[in-house]
Chain A
Amino acid sequence: MLAVQVKAEAEILPLISSKRLFIFECLGCRDVHYPVEKAAEFMDSLKEEIVGKATLDYLCHREFVHEYVKAYAGEIERAQVILVFSCGVGAQVVSSLLEDRIVYTCCDTLYLNGFQGLTAKEFNCDQCGECYLNYTGGLCPVALCSKNLLNGPCGGSQAGKCEVDPDMPCVWQQIFDRLAKLGQLHTLERLGTPKNWNVSPASSAPEKRLP
Chain B
Amino acid sequence: MQMRLMDYTKFRPKPAEEISEVFQRVNRIFILSCGKCFKKFEEEDEGQYAQLLETLGADRTKVVGHTQVDFLCNEFLSGKRISDLDLSRCDSIGVTSCGLGVQFVARLLERTPVYALADSVPHSPNYPAEVGYHGISLEEEKCAACGQCYLNLTGGICPITNCAKGLLNGPCGGATDGKCEVNSSVDCAWVRIHERLKKRGEQSASEYVQPRDYSRPSWKVTNGLSLQNQALRGGGFYGGFHPLENKEATADKRVERFPEPQVAVIFLSQHAGRRAKPVVEPGDKVKVGQKVGEADGFVSSSIHSSISGNVISVEERAYPAAQREELAVVIENDGKNELHPSIQPRDDFEALPKEALLDIIKESGIVGLGGAMFPTHVKFSPPRPVDTLLVNGCECEPYLNTDNRLMIEHPEEILAGISIVQKILGVDKVFVGVEENKPEAIAALSRFSDKYPSVELVSLKTKYPQGAERSLIKRILDRDVPPPPKGLPFDVGVMVSNVGTLFAIYQAVAKGIPLFQRVITVSGEGLTRPGNYLVKIGTPIKDIIQYCFDENVDGLLEKYDVKMGGAIMGIPQASLESSVIKGTTGLTVLKKHPVMASEERDCIKCGRCVEVCPMQLYPLFYGFYGKKGDLAKAVEHKVEECVECGCCEYMCASKIALLSFIRQEKAYARSASKG
Binding site for B on A (CB under 8 A): 1-3, 7, 11-12, 15, 27-33, 36, 56-58, 60-64, 66-68, 70-72, 87-96, 99-105, 107-131, 133-134, 137-140, 143, 146, 162, 165, 167-168, 178, 181-182, 184, 197-205, 209
Contact = CB atoms under 8 A, between A and B. Distances in A.
Contacts of B502: none
A95 B157 contact: yes
Nearest to B14: A131
B103 interface: yes
Given A92-B157, A205-B183, A117 B100 contact: yes
Interface string B198-211: 01111000000000
A91 B3 contact: no
Which 3 residue pairs of A and B lie closest in terms of their CB atoms, listed nearest first?
Answer: A138-B106, A95-B156, A125-B99
Interface stretch (B121-129, B341-349, B482-490, B578-586): B121-129
Contacts of A32: 229
Most chain B Cβ neighbours within 10 Å, of A15, A70, A99, A197 = A99
Interface in B230-256: 230, 232-233, 241-242, 244
Contacts, number: 319
Interface in B116-136: 116, 118-125, 127-128, 131-136
B467 to A, nearest CB: 18
Size class of the B contact interface (CB-based, 8 Å): 35 or more
7 contacts: A58-B653, A63-B1, A93-B139, A100-B201, A131-B118, A138-B102, A167-B218
Given A139-B106, A199-B127, A202-B12, A129 B225 contact: no
A27 B186 contact: no
A119 B216 contact: no
A127 B131 contact: yes
Nearest to B611: A118
Contact of B71 (A11, A72, A118, A128): A118
Contacts of B74: 118-119
A109 B123 contact: no
Contacts of B37: 117-118
A60 B49 CA distance: 32
A112 B133 CA distance: 11
Interface string B510-534: 0000000000000000000000000
A134 B152 contact: no
Given A58-B655, A201-B132, A209-B15, 5 more contacts: A56-B593, A61-B136, A61-B139, A113-B223, A117-B98
B142 interface: yes
Contacts of B607: 118
Given A114-B100, A126-B131, A133-B99, A2 B145 contact: yes
A51 B51 CA distance: 56
Main secondary structure of the interface of A (DSSP, over half): loop
B52 interface: no
Given A31-B233, A165-B218, A2 B122 contact: no
A178 to B, nearest CB: 7
B141 A93 contact: yes
B12 A197 contact: no
A96 B142 CA distance: 13
Contacts of A197: 128
Interface of B: 1, 3, 6-7, 9-10, 12, 14-15, 22, 37, 71, 73-75, 98-107, 110-116, 118-125, 127-128, 131-137, 139, 141-149, 151-152, 155-158, 183, 185-186, 196, 199-202, 216-220, 222-223, 225-230, 232-233, 241-242, 244, 593-595, 606-608, 610-611, 653-655
Contacts of B136: 1, 28-29, 58, 60-61
A72 B1 CA distance: 17
Contacts of B223: 113, 122, 167-168
Given A89-B139, A111-B222, A139-B103, A204 B611 contact: no
A92 B158 contact: yes
A190 to B, nearest CB: 10
A89 B127 contact: no
Contacts of B113: 137, 182, 184
Contacts of B157: 92, 95-96
